[in-house]
Every structure is written in C-alpha cells, then in structure tokens.
Amino acid sequence: MEEHGAAKCLLVASRNVGKVAEIRQLLADYAVKVIGLNDLSDSAAPAEPHDTFADNARHKALQLAERTGLAALADDSGLQVDALGGRPGVYSSRYGSDDRQRIDKLLAELADVPDERRGACFVCVIAIACQGQVVGLWEGECKGVILREPRGNAGFGYDPIFYYPSLGRTFAEISTEQKNGVSHRGRALQAMLEALRGGELLGHPLR
C-alpha cells in the first residue's frame, strides 16, 4: 500500500461524494486516508463487465489498484426481485436511463404480481484489492417488498418502492442513518469493519 502524506491511502472506486464520505466516516478511527475517484486526475470509473456482484467488485478493485498503485475498495450492488427470477440484479443501474424510468419499468413488470409474491432483496458486495491481490470480499443483503407505487423522497435508485417491513416504511421514507443501519451496503461495510478490526486482511492491515 502506498503512503499518501502521513497516512496510508484507500481509494474508493466511486465518484459518488456521499458514498465516499460514508466510508470515510466508518474508517475514521483507522490511520487511513480515504479518497474517491474525484480526487484523482484520471477519475475514469472501471467497467462492470461480469454477471455477478462479487466478480464486478473484484474486477473494479483489482483494476484500480493496478492503475493507481493504491489499495482500492470497490462495491457492486443491485436489486434482486423474486418474481423476476432475480432481475434486474447486476443490471440494476442499466435498467432504464434514470431512476424514474427504472422504477416505472419494474412496476409495469410487476403489475400482475400479487402482494404475497412481491419479495425482493438488495445485495451489495465490497472488495478491497492491494498489490495485485484481492485481500477481502464482504457481502450484505437486505430483504423487503416492492410496493405498487413510489413513497418518500429520500435516498436514491429503487428506494421509493422498496418497503422495509420491520420499519414499516420504504427506504425513501427513512433517514440515511436508519438506512445505513439495516441496508445491504451498511451490512457489507460492517462486515468489512469487523474483518479490519480482527486484522484479517491477509498481511495488509490498514493500521
């Protein structure tokens, strides 16, 4: 891992400022400087060429680590809908040209699906790569139900139609903090933190 100033540097494979800030906050107790793609002169995002979340996360982390010489963290996530055989899955971000279109397409496909068969699962896989090697892979899942119309204005993506039964709200009706506590991404990040605490990064401890 390269030194960046006094601290070791972890590059998050994202231009999403919110996502980078969330990971930076989670790693606040570690001697790691967390940066995102926007902090690089070459901010190109790596491709997602595979058909599983794990393969895409691995690919992105390895490619960025190689390109920059830094330790790189990449995630891949999406929504698996039971009645659609797991679609849109890894293609969630490419299911339409914007969030509204993606939601409308999904709701149209589920129009005739009864309430008891509208189960869905958000999935997130996080990989860290360093010096040509994937040094950790963590997965988080979150199960819910797809509503018949959007509810709430918070969050992003499919949040307004993803109803989380134990909170009685959609992901677009709860705070970011509440969402992080139960979401697929929050759970994958927590699993990663536990591994870091246990020093399980195959000889590449981050502190």
* Binding footprint of ligand IMP on the chain (CB under 6 A): 48, 76-79, 92-93, 122, 155-159, 171, 183, 185
Task: Report the nearest approach of ligand IMP to the CB of residue 188 (Å).
Answer: 11
Residue closest to ligand IMP, measured at CB: 157
**Please, which residue, 8 or 136, has the CB nearer to ligand IMP?**
136
CA distance 81 to 32: 37
> How many Cβ atoms sit within 10 Å of the Cβ of residue 48?
19
* Closer residue to ligand IMP, CB minimum distance, 71 or 79: 79
32-36/7-12 β-pairing: parallel
Closest contact distance (angstroms) between CB of 88 and ligand IMP is: 8
Q: Which is nearer to ligand IMP, 1 or 20 (CB)?
A: 20
Q: Which is nearer to ligand IMP, 171 or 196 (CB)?
A: 171
Structure tokens at 69: 């010489």
Task: Give the residue with the Cβ less far from ligand IMP, 33 or 77.
Answer: 77
Alpha helices of the chain — where are they, by DSSP H? 17-26, 53-68, 99-109, 176-182, 184-197
**Least separation in angstroms between CB 31 and ligand IMP:** 28
Q: How far is the CB of 95 from ligand IMP (least distance, A)?
A: 7
* Cα dihedral: 181, 33, 205, 186 (round 10): 10
Q: Among all residues, which ones are annotated catalytic?
A: 76
Q: Phi, psi (5° rounding) for residue 66? A: -65, -45
Least distance to ligand IMP from the beta carbon of 157, Å? 2
Q: Do 190 and 130 form a contact (C-beta atoms < 8 A)?
A: no
Q: Give 148's Cβ-side CA count (13 Å radius).
A: 7
Contact residues for 198 (Cβ-Cβ < 8 A; gap 6+): none
